[in-house]
Amino acid sequence: MSEGSSSGFTLDLSDDVREMRDWVHEFAQNVMRPAAAEWDEREETPWPILAEASKIGLYSLDFFGGQWFEPTGLGTPVAFEEIFWGDAGIGLALTGTCLAAVAVTGSGTPEQIGEWVPQMFGSPGDVKLGAFCSSEPDAGSDVGAIRTRALYSEATDEWVLNGTKAWATNGGIADVHVVVASVEPALGSRGQASFIVPPGTRGLSQGQKFRKHGVRASHTAEVVLDDVRVPGRCLVGGKDRLDARLARLAGGQAGGEQAAMKTFEASRPTVAAMAVGVARAALDYARDYATQRVQFGKPIGQNQAIAFMLADMQASVDAARLLTWRAAWMARQGRKFTRAEGSISKLVAGETAVRVTEQAIQILGGNGYTRDYPVERMHRDAKIFTIFEGTSEIQRMIIGRAVTGLDVR
């Protein structure tokens, strides 16, 4: 689509999106919020909440897929903002599967999408999870350094995976794992491919479960792959496509997009929307508190120092949301992020969430510093948004390259 050809631009949400937003908000308000502190303390996947979300159709391929393909592109950011307004830890437990689903829907064949993506969500009464495993102990920001190897066995038409993955959301407890591995190590990230590891495959096990600063209701763990054998049809996109890409690279031509990068690029505005949700939650709480807490005979919100802080918080949340919606809208219109718009949304929203949640603690004073009030948890949760799916430094690197046209390192 050429620039400027979309005459129907509007920031009004469609009736469908507004209805969906209100429905998700109700779940966030009535189910997630009351459970947030408990699951943060327990540091466990909130299975009963997932079951409830599955029962009403919120934790489902239908819901997330429906929002992903919503015509304006705003369905997903609106839904994710509401979910994370409810609670980020439970929110990540509810949405972590989506990254694995996007890895398959973005690059997989129709058969792979039909076979594996529904299995990642399960059904009401039998909830399942998906995990996307790219990061490794020695390959975080540097995705090209992935050491997990995938070797093809012609005789059995199987891929054999060996390696250790770090930081996998739902790692080891998911039914379907999508694993990024190196097929041609000499080609770095361009020699990588993604593999679906079906439920119950031998050789895949959970390593260390990480105890975290925030988003503690979301399970994060190492995944160990010890001679994991998966059928040839589990190579995402299929072998013909991989062979053609490797042949192009061997011939000195461009090989196309790299598997993990494609997944992260698509998910950046979605992660930005999560951060906007957390920032808005902290702003809401601090605003209400500032109108009620009285010191020196008047609500603290009557002091410019506090009102200006709230004004800055509101302005930054709105700005972050607009950047998020722009990126999501562009992605839905099939426009390329020529100025790194996806990274811009993630960078600004992530840093906004950290700043706004910190300001919220300041507004609550001593109360804000305790676990009796939710802004302390929101601040811990917010920090993840400057780290995962590309740190703020990596986003700046990508934006810097787009701005300068130089090979910024």
Ligand X SMILES: Cc1cc2nc3c(=O)[nH]c(=O)nc-3n(C[C@H](O)[C@H](O)[C@H](O)COP(=O)(O)OP(=O)(O)OC[C@H]3O[C@@H](n4cnc5c(N)ncnc54)[C@H](O)[C@@H]3O)c2cc1C
Catalytically annotated residues: 389
- The distance of closest approach from Cβ of residue 127 to ligand X in the complex, given in angstroms and rounded to an integer, is 18
- The distance of closest approach from Cβ of residue 389 to ligand X in the complex, given in angstroms and rounded to an integer, is 6
Does residue 256 sit in helix, strand or coil? Answer: coil
- Distance CA(359)–CA(364), nearest Å, equals 9
**Token couple for 265:** 């690029």
Does residue 206 sit in helix, strand or coil? Answer: strand
Instruction: For the chain, report the end-to-end CA distance as a whole number of angstroms.
Output: 31
- The distance of closest approach from Cβ of residue 45 to ligand X in the complex, given in angstroms and rounded to an integer, is 13
- Distance CA(318)–CA(285), nearest Å, equals 16
H/E stretch holding 178:
strand 176-182
Residue 299 Ramachandran class (φ > 0 left, ψ -120 to 50 alpha, else beta): beta
Q: Output 168 or 344, the one with its CB closest to ligand X.
A: 168
- The distance of closest approach from Cβ of residue 33 to ligand X in the complex, given in angstroms and rounded to an integer, is 21
Q: Output 194 or 324, the one with its CB closest to ligand X.
A: 194
Q: Output 283 or 394, the one with its CB closest to ligand X.
A: 394
Identify the DSSP state of 211: P
Q: Output 147 or 239, the one with its CB closest to ligand X.
A: 147
- Distance CA(248)–CA(232), nearest Å, equals 21
- Distance CA(203)–CA(163), nearest Å, equals 11
For residues 281 and 85, is the Cβ–Cβ distance under 8 A? yes
Q: Output 52 or 175, the one with its CB closest to ligand X.
A: 175
Does residue 196 sit in helix, strand or coil? Answer: strand
Strand-pair partners of 132: 178
Of 296, 314, 310, the residue nearest 362 (C-alpha): 310
Which residue in the shown chain puts its C-beta closest to ligand X?
Answer: 140
Cα 85 to chain centroid distance, Å, stands at 15
**Token couple for 280:** 């808005």
Q: Output 130 or 301, the one with its CB closest to ligand X.
A: 130
Of 226, 139, 151, 154, the residue nearest 195 (C-alpha): 151
- The distance of closest approach from Cβ of residue 210 to ligand X in the complex, given in angstroms and rounded to an integer, is 7
Binding site for ligand X (CB under 6 A): 99, 132-135, 140-141, 167-169, 212, 215, 220, 384, 387-389, 391, 393-394, 397
- The distance of closest approach from Cβ of residue 218 to ligand X in the complex, given in angstroms and rounded to an integer, is 7
**Token couple for 92:** 């990540």
- The distance of closest approach from Cβ of residue 96 to ligand X in the complex, given in angstroms and rounded to an integer, is 6
**Buried-state track 271-291, b at ≥16 Cβ within 10 A, e below 16:** bbbbbbbbbbbbbebbbebbe
Q: Output 139 or 320, the one with its CB closest to ligand X.
A: 139
